[in-house]
Chain A
Amino acid sequence: MVATDKPKYKIIGTRPARPDGVDKVTGRAQYGADLKLEGLIYGAVLRSPHAHAIIKSIDTTKAEALPGVHAVATNADFPGSSNTTEILEPGKANERWAADNILAGPKALYHGHGVAAVAADDMHIAQDALALIEVEYEILPPVVDVQDAMQDGSPILHSGLRTGVRAAGVDTKSDIETNLASHMRLERGDVEEGFKEADITVEREFTSSQFHQGYIEPQNAAAWWSMDGRLSVWTSTQGAFSARDATADILKIPVSDIKVTPMEIGGGFGGKIPIYLEPIAAVLSKKSNRPVKMWMEREAVFQATGPTASSYSKVKIGVTREGKITAAYCTFAMGAGAFPGSPVGAGVQCALAPYAIENQVVDGLDVVLNTPKTAAYRAPGAPATEYAVESVLDEIAEQLDMDPIDLRLANVAEEGDRNSSGTPWPKIGAKEVLEAMKSHPHYLSEIQGEDVGRGIAVGFWFNGGMESSSSARVNKDGSIALIMGSTDIGGTRASIPMQMAETLGVTYEQIAPQVTDTDSVGYTAVTGGSRTTFAGGWVAYELGQMIKSEMKERAAKIWDVDSGSISYTDDGEIVGPNDKDGNEQKFSFNELAGKLQSTGGLIAVSASSSHTTQGAAYGGHIVDLKVDRDTGKVEILRYTAVQDVGTAIHPSYVEGQIQGGVAQGIGMALNEEYYYDDDGHLMNGSFLDYRIPVANDLPMLDVELVEVPNPGHPYGVRGVGEVPIVPPQPTIRNAMYDAIGVRFYHNPMSPRRVLDELL
């Protein structure tokens, strides 16, 4: 059901076919691994069998001698890596870490860390060559758990890391080596006073495992480093420009020497923002003077890319008898993996965002571990922190004997309330979401049956703005070529042209969108953060306005009138004042397009913009589930996701984003997780053992769209893709209690953990 008081649009809200769709259903679409180039050879990476080890030597002579092998690369081939120093200069550090993550520097820091690479005539020969590389390791004890890594005496990953963090119960003196990379705090009001006013205070601790983004397409990259110094890269990436810039940093060459062509991308969810293979393919290409294509094996994808941070959380919330929250104190520690940079900062900002809380402290700690360097994963950081808060609220609602939605309504953040950073909210739809949940037939229905339960929870994500660029050309038949810098991961070649068509009053079909390389369009930030339909829509709107005013100028020329006397209608008609004889003067868009060449040339416009008015968004979920007491398996019986989407540009893709996010969240709640053995080996690096939800694990996932338009966007767009992954973990956890009377404090609630509680 869509709210009925929205402005009426002609194209926005319809469900046209996407322009890239035919190629994708016929197998013609070119993803990175599909690229064909003349003289292509294949690259592969040797990976560390140890989670933590000093690399004493690498001998590649035998591999190089194998017939069919063309080049070998190691960390020493990256000028940006520097094998020599461990001292971390601020600003310099990240660059070196980025190189050392791709191919290990002095130490291998996780199981599967890249150590060396080869390029050969085919993949089999490349694999043979890897087996001939001799690496001498000195094995060190690893640490893979967040809480262990913060203890005194824990194995230390980076001897140069001395951060002097003194907060949240930890105190690392500034001259002591630590795995604690940084601390951040958001603070408002007076928490001590706030807790004094509380009638009930609940404090709980939670942990969660590492989850992988689980995109079906492994990372890939191809490179051709021509003798003229120009480097061409083809890759499936969420951001062609960020991939270009990161490659330039590692290879220490100007960005203008690199052209990145984004190929079709087979899923990312944040995991295809970092680069992994591009600089290796480039070095191998330079050394062999051949184009080199690489893609990861699935096991390497699990071992060396993604995953999300594992986490430890402590949340304390005080409420009055009426259910008003008086204070909240939260501590979150997240495992960044082998190099600093977990998403704890975003998690800290999101933790309490659904609520207006006067007195609060939120601490975040970033911890390095002998696991792959974490990457963003859909609402990075938010699922873990909001899971802890939503779980505590469920326990509070029970103690107060209050409906859990009413408890949330009593504290919900509204326009003008301040968020954790102290900034007042613009118009947000949190309350509307809670109200829609409360009146939803799912929530009003009876549930019955043994070991059956219902739970609810809400989730928040701030959504992204950032820079986007596009250009557009009006052709003489009125069709419009729209060139975009944003890679299309799931339908933005439909949702952005739809907004341009709405602006211009033309048909969706006459706009031909294309995603292009980094030399052919202005700088565009990554497709991520639920920003692309928002920011790309802004640019499309701005281009539309430029085209409109240029069309009016041309009509003014033809009619010899002032352009101020010309209007542009919603239907794309250009209407002038009546002529001398009183006859109406007007052109359709296409008619006037046919006269552009004779009035100054075809119209070509381009625009770059960076708007910070992205609309924060809220979702609320309801689940009914059944627990099997014999196996510990949980069956999802019914699932409803309510979400404020601002304006649904293409409702089918909006629903699809929400359903996909919910399915991932269900996986996190019930069975996905990384298993490490005592030596830090990842034990389940395959889709068989890291089992993502399959079609018969799930029922239909019902979606209810609430549309509270974002006042900071011409069409009211908020982001959509990330919010839906936030509520499933607490929603399911709260329903588990309703079903079997057990409160869980760890995710996933896998069959083994459920049985541990029941037996």
Chain B
Amino acid sequence: MIPEPKVISTTINGDEKQVLVSERDSLLEALRDRIGMTGAKEGCNNGNCGACAVIMDGRLVNSCCVMAVEADGSEVMTVEGLASREELHPLQSEFLQNAALQCGICTPGFLMSSYALLQEKPNPTEEEARFWLAGNLCRCTGYDKIIESVLTVAKG
């Protein structure tokens, strides 16, 4: 049986939104298929790749592993909310300048995880950055330029 749709209210990147979702939707599906915000990516849909990472009520989460109904009443920040109206976030410009992306599919997830890392630990060592970002898979870069970029931004 198709479950009854539900309305959730969630603040996304500062905008309050009422969204009609299926009870079976993950937050990732709600963002992508119901709201049409496709910055968060689906790489695995089971918590193993980090491409869908967003920040929910201050915590880094894989949005494929959060039910949309759980996000009712919460604040969600996605990659679309990282840049200000005027300029890119320093992580975004450093990733771009330093070629920390090739295909770019992992980039939204890495940016959100790196953002959360720098909130938690503004000055990580290389080892700390590598451990923190171990939940994000990148198949293109070998991670060098991603780690370098995060450390460069941390140094300011």
Shortest CB distance A625–B (Å): 16
Cβ of B129 within 8 Å of any chain A Cβ, yes or no, is: yes
B79 pairs with A214, CB closer than 8 A: no
CA distance A719 to B93 in the complex (A): 28
Shortest CB distance A299–B (Å): 9
Query: Using Cβ atoms and an 8 Å threshold, which residues of chain A touch B16?
Result: none
Query: Using Cβ atoms and an 8 Å threshold, which residues of chain B touch A265?
Result: 103
Interface size for chain A: under 10, 10 to 19, 20 to 34, or 35 or more residues? 35 or more
**A27-35, A176-184, A415-423, A538-546: which one contacts chain B?**
A27-35
Query: Using Cβ atoms and an 8 Å threshold, which residues of chain A touch B103?
Result: 215-217, 264-268, 489-490
Query: Using Cβ atoms and an 8 Å threshold, which residues of chain A touch B136?
Result: 694-695
A27 pairs with B40, CB closer than 8 A: yes
CA distance A153 to B95 in the complex (A): 56
CA distance A55 to B63 in the complex (A): 38
CA distance A197 to B48 in the complex (A): 55
B2 pairs with A125, CB closer than 8 A: yes
Shortest CB distance A605–B (Å): 30
B57-96 toward A: CB 8 Å interface, digit per residue (1/0)?
0000000000000000000001110110000100011011
A29 pairs with B104, CB closer than 8 A: yes
Contact of A27 among B22, B29, B79, B99 (CB under 8 A): B79
A659 pairs with B46, CB closer than 8 A: no
Cβ of A139 within 8 Å of any chain B Cβ, yes or no, is: no
Cβ of B118 within 8 Å of any chain A Cβ, yes or no, is: no
A25 pairs with B101, CB closer than 8 A: yes
Query: Using Cβ atoms and an 8 Å threshold, which residues of chain A touch B119?
Result: none
Cβ of A687 within 8 Å of any chain B Cβ, yes or no, is: yes
A701 pairs with B142, CB closer than 8 A: yes
* A-B interface contact total, Cβ < 8 Å: 194
Contact of B131 among A26, A661, A696 (CB under 8 A): A696
Contact of A26 among B24, B92, B133, B140 (CB under 8 A): B92
Cβ of A166 within 8 Å of any chain B Cβ, yes or no, is: no
A687 pairs with B105, CB closer than 8 A: no
**A15-23, A98-106, A109-117: which one contacts chain B?**
A15-23
Interface size for chain B: under 10, 10 to 19, 20 to 34, or 35 or more residues? 35 or more
Query: Using Cβ atoms and an 8 Å threshold, which residues of chain B touch A25?
Result: 79, 88, 92-93, 95-96, 101, 104, 107, 111
Query: Using Cβ atoms and an 8 Å threshold, which residues of chain A touch B27?
Result: none
CA distance A636 to B147 in the complex (A): 17
Query: Using Cβ atoms and an 8 Å threshold, which residues of chain A touch B42?
Result: 33, 218, 295
CA distance A653 to B145 in the complex (A): 10
What residue in chain B is nearest A266 (Cβ atoms)?
B105
A218 pairs with B43, CB closer than 8 A: yes
Cβ of B144 within 8 Å of any chain A Cβ, yes or no, is: yes
Shortest CB distance A551–B (Å): 33
Cβ of B137 within 8 Å of any chain A Cβ, yes or no, is: yes
What residue in chain A is nearest B22 (Cβ atoms)?
A124
B83 pairs with A26, CB closer than 8 A: yes
Cβ of B134 within 8 Å of any chain A Cβ, yes or no, is: yes
Asked if A695 meets B146 with Cβ closer than 8 Å, knowing A26-B88, A67-B2, A652-B98, the reply is yes
Cβ of A686 within 8 Å of any chain B Cβ, yes or no, is: yes
B130 pairs with A695, CB closer than 8 A: yes
Secondary structure of the B side of the interface?
loop
CA distance A295 to B42 in the complex (A): 10
CA distance A27 to B147 in the complex (A): 20
Interface residues of B in 26-46 (CB under 8 A from A): 29, 32-33, 36-46
Query: Using Cβ atoms and an 8 Å threshold, which residues of chain A touch B141?
Result: 656, 659-660, 663
What residue in chain B is nearest A220 (Cβ atoms)?
B42
Query: Using Cβ atoms and an 8 Å threshold, which residues of chain A touch B79?
Result: 25-27
B38 pairs with A30, CB closer than 8 A: yes
With most chain A CB atoms within 10 A of its CB, the pick from B104, B129, B141 is B104
B134 pairs with A695, CB closer than 8 A: yes
Cβ of A36 within 8 Å of any chain B Cβ, yes or no, is: yes
CA distance A491 to B39 in the complex (A): 20
Cβ of B155 within 8 Å of any chain A Cβ, yes or no, is: no
Query: Using Cβ atoms and an 8 Å threshold, which residues of chain B touch A698?
Result: 130, 142-143
Query: Using Cβ atoms and an 8 Å threshold, which residues of chain B touch A694?
Result: 133-137, 143
Shortest CB distance B86–A (Å): 13
Contact of B140 among A124, A267, A298, A688 (CB under 8 A): A267
B105 pairs with A217, CB closer than 8 A: yes
CA distance A265 to B106 in the complex (A): 11
Asked if A696 meets B83 with Cβ closer than 8 Å, knowing A297-B45, A490-B103, the reply is no
Query: Using Cβ atoms and an 8 Å threshold, which residues of chain A touch B140?
Result: 267, 490, 656, 660
What are 14 A-B pairs with beta-carbon distances under 8 A?
A27-B39, A27-B78, A29-B104, A267-B139, A295-B42, A491-B99, A650-B99, A659-B141, A687-B44, A695-B134, A695-B147, A696-B127, A696-B133, A701-B144
Q: B-contacting residues of A (Cβ < 8 Å)?
A: 15, 17-18, 20-22, 24-31, 33-34, 36, 67-68, 122-125, 128, 213-218, 264-269, 295, 297-298, 489-491, 650, 652-653, 655-657, 659-664, 686-688, 692, 694-698, 700-701
Q: A27-B78, A692-B139 are in contact. List 18 more A-B contacts (CB 8 A).
A: A20-B104, A21-B96, A25-B92, A25-B101, A33-B41, A123-B29, A214-B137, A266-B43, A267-B105, A297-B45, A655-B144, A657-B102, A659-B143, A663-B142, A692-B137, A694-B136, A695-B129, A695-B147
Q: Please give me the 10 A-B residue pairs with the lowest Cβ-Cβ distance, nearest first.
A: A27-B39, A266-B105, A659-B142, A490-B102, A24-B104, A663-B142, A652-B99, A34-B38, A687-B48, A27-B79
